[in-house]
Every structure is written in C-alpha cells, then in structure tokens.
Structure 1
Amino acid sequence: MSKKKGLSLEEKRSRMMEIFFETKDVFQLKDIEKIAPKQKGITPMSVKEVLQSLVDDNMVDSERVGTSNYFWAFPSKALNARKRRIEELEKQHEDGKQRRVTLQQTVAKAREGRQDTEDRAVLLQQLNELKEQRTKLKSELEKYRECDPEVVEQMRQENVNAKEAVSRWTDNVFAIKSWAKRKFAFDDSRINKAFGIPEDFDYMD
C-alpha cells in the first residue's frame, strides 16, 4: 500500500483561500487552525506558516484589534490582484519584446561596414602589420633603455650606494682584524688565512 502524499505549499495556499472565499467571513488564527485541518486537509503544524505566506503576498488581509489578529480575504480583491499581476506581466512581456527589437537593430547597425569586402581584408592586414611593427619597436626601444637619462642617473645612484656599502663592510673587516690583533696578538697573514681574507684586501678606488 503506497504512502499518501502530502499537500504541496501551493495546494495548501489554494485550499486555505477557499476557506475565505466560500465563507466570506473574518477569522482569528485559532479559527483557521480548527477549520483548515478538518475541512481542507491542511496539517495543523503548517496552518500558521501557510496563512502568513498569504498575508505576505497580500492575498489575505490582516488587522490587529486589541490583542487579537483578524484575517479575511474576499474574491473581488483576489480577482483585482490577479488582473493587476496579469497587467504587470503583459507590460514586462511588451518591454522585453521592445528591448529585443532594439538589440536586433543595434546588432544590425554594428554589422554595417563589417562585411568581408576586399577593402576590409586589406585594412585588416595593414592593422596586423602595424601591430607587429609596434611590438618590434617596443622591443627595440627596450634595448636602448639604458641610454635613457633617468635610467642612467638611477644606475649612477645605485653604484654610489653600492660603493658606500662596500666601504662600510671594509671598515668592519679592518675593525675586526684590529680587535683580533690586540686580543690574541695575531698578525695580519694569520687572520687573513683564518677568515679567508685576500692579502690584497683594501678599499675600492
């Protein structure tokens, strides 16, 4: 025996709307919670959720009076709501058709002058040749970049900085050698050999 399939959300919404349309009455939530399961087969646990979804979609009106909430919906309002929705959809459809026509016209206009003519083929070939020439010129320009005055000045400054750094390290080496000679009475050749310092080690010119 197959298991009975439950109602979908849309089926529950439709059946709950029947309660309002058939009775044309005003209800509190507790009333709907009693009627919906018995008359329309809507599970008690889902009554409040279904009712709220109808209120959110403006299909059911709701008003708080004192401490109680009252709900109602009349066929005339539902009919008008459907008419408005149909009108909105029809307008969207017309707008979509108009946009389609506009796009088709734009595409047709963009294609003008792009036919595969002999002149166009020649121009495209010239364009490709110019692109290749531009690439070669950029490559050639890069070779002569070192002659750029700004680049030359930058290289000169880098050389100055490098020379100053070498001089500082040379100072440090001589200072360490001087300290080692005083501390351990080593001579220069022994210190140079121990630390791999060339015999002709000196400041750069």
Structure 2
Amino acid sequence: MSKRKGVSAEEKRKRLLEIFREKQEFFQLKELEKIAPKEKGIIAQSVKDVLQSLVDDGLVDSEKELEKIAPKEKGIIAQSVKDVLQSLVDDGLVDSEKVGTSVYFWSYSNKSTTTKQRKLNNLSTKLEECKRLLQETKDSIAVAEIGRESTEERTRLLQVWAEKKSQEEDLKLKLQHYETANPERYLAMQEQTKVSKEAINRWTDNIFNMKSWCRNRFSIEESILNKQFEIDPDMDYLE
C-alpha cells in the first residue's frame, strides 16, 4: 500500500487562501484550525504557520496588521484602529460581526491585486531612486574626467608613474632583504640571546643540584642518573 502523499507548503497556502476568498469573512485562528482540516485537508497543527506566511506576504490581513498599516498609510493612531473597525462593522460597512478583543484575519478577492500593485509601486520608487543615483554617478564621472582627457602628454606621464611605482615596489623588496642587517633587530636578537642563555644556565644548575641531591640521598652513581634520565654526561654551563 503506497503512502499518502503530503501536502506541500505552497499548496497549503493556496488552500488556506481559498477559504478566505470563498467565504469572504473574518476568522479567528481557532476557527481556521477547525475549518482547514475539514474543508481543505490542512492539518490543524500547521494552520498557524501557513496563516502567518500569508500575513507576512501581504495576502491576508489581520487586526494587528491594520494597527501597523493604518498609522503609516492613513494617519490613524494604532490605539484607535480596533474601535474604528468595530464602528465599520456596526454600520454594515465591514462584513463581519466578530471583531472584539481577539485577533482576526481576512482576505478579499482583490487583495492579491492590491498587494501586487503595492509591491509594484515600491519597486517603481526604488527604480527611480536607482536611476537618480546612476545619473549622479555619471555626472560625477563627467566632472572627474575634466582635465584628464586622453592626450600624448597624459599618456607619457601615466607611463612614467607606472615605472616609478614599479621601482618603488623593487625598493621595498630590497629593503625587506636588508632588514636582516637592521641594527635594531640585531640588538634585539642579542638581548634575546642573553635572556635565553641565562635561562639555559639556570636549568642546567637545577639539573646539577638535582643530581647532587639524588646521589647524597639515595647513593646513586651519577652515570646511572644520566642514563635513567637521558642526561648528556658532557652537559655544562654556557659561557
């Protein structure tokens, strides 16, 4: 028996949107979670996410969305949106009697067209802005090119500049090569050598003291200690 094929996310969006378009009503989330499984085969657990994706894409409106849109586009303060919406319902101008303290969702047949028109307007505005910036850039280039017209003298000077630039790079490489003979670097290495030498002699002294203590404490011959701890018998202080 073949497994039942699941419904894709896009198909769920399409089916849920059909509920709004067919019924032309307002719905609470809990209502959609009951209707969608029965009428459109969308499992209740996925309704919330599918609905939110439709709201995010502007295909479904919600009371919360109105509280965001109304102040920006119509100058209506967000706190008054719910009361205004209720008054429209009371006057029969909005087809719903369900507006209250809960969040409601709706979408009418022309919503898709309106959304697309809004996106088109936004894109048109951005396009005009890009055209303006492009023209400004062209104007700036034109101004920058004044006095930089291609002439024999300019070409000659650019060639001279390129040669000097190449010489500069060569000199930098030579300078890096001579860096090994830098007096400051030599003095730093000399100081580091002194510190390292002192450290070596300090640890050499520690080893001699340890060997002496072992000989006196355990009566172990030095040759055995050297062999046991892999100590060079010729080890000595650095001069």
Bucket of the pairwise TM-score, normalised by the shorter protein: 0.5 to 0.7
Partner of 2:90: none
Partner of 2:174: 140
Q: How does 1:55-70 map to 2 (within 5 A)?
A: 56=55, 57-58=60-61, 63=98
Which protein has the larger Cα radius of gyration, Structure 1 or Structure 2?
A: 1
CA distance in 1, matches of 2:21, 2:53: 8
Answer 1 or 2: which has greater strand percent: 1
2:27–2:104 contact (8 Å) kept in structure 1: yes
Give the structure, 1 or 2, with the largest relative contact order (CA under 8 Å, sep 6 or more): 2
Partner of 1:33: 35
- Gap regions ≥5 residues in structure 1: 1-5
Which of 24, 40, 61 is equivalent to 1:43? 40
Matched, 1:158 2:220: no
Partner of 1:98: 129
| Displacement after TM superposition at 1:89 (Å) | 2.5
1:27–1:72 contact (8 Å) kept in structure 2: yes
| Displacement after TM superposition at 1:106 (Å) | 0.9
| Displacement after TM superposition at 1:147 (Å) | 5.0
Which of 140, 144, 147 is equivalent to 1:109? 140
Matched, 1:13 2:40: no
Q: Percent identity?
A: 23
1:26–1:71 contact (8 Å) kept in structure 2: yes
Partner of 2:160: 126
Per the alignment, do residues 179 and 195 of structure 1 end up closer, same or farther by CA in structure 2, a change over 3 Å counting?
same
Q: Give, as a single letter, the amino acid of the residue that structure 2 aligns with 1:49.
A: V
Q: How does 1:167-178 map to 2 (within 5 A)?
A: 167-172=201-206, 175=209
CA distance in 1, matches of 2:27, 2:236: 104
Partner of 1:3: none
1:62–1:70 contact (8 Å) kept in structure 2: no
2:21–2:107 contact (8 Å) kept in structure 1: yes
Per the alignment, do residues 118 and 181 of structure 1 end up closer, same or farther by CA in structure 2, a change over 3 Å counting?
same
2:201–2:237 contact (8 Å) kept in structure 1: yes
1:62–1:69 contact (8 Å) kept in structure 2: no
| Displacement after TM superposition at 1:173 (Å) | 6.2
| Matched residue count | 179
- Gap regions ≥5 residues in structure 2: 1-6, 64-95
CA distance in 2, matches of 1:74, 1:17: 6
| Displacement after TM superposition at 1:49 (Å) | 3.4
Per the alignment, do residues 84 and 158 of structure 1 end up closer, same or farther by CA in structure 2, a change over 3 Å counting?
closer
Per the alignment, do residues 156 and 62 of structure 1 end up closer, same or farther by CA in structure 2, a change over 3 Å counting?
farther
Partner of 2:120: 89
CA distance in 1, matches of 2:174, 2:14: 72
Q: Give, as a single letter, the amino acid of the residue that structure 2 aligns with 1:139.
A: L
CA distance in 2, matches of 1:107, 1:197: 81
1:26–1:70 contact (8 Å) kept in structure 2: yes
CA distance in 2, matches of 1:11, 1:178: 91
Partner of 2:73: none
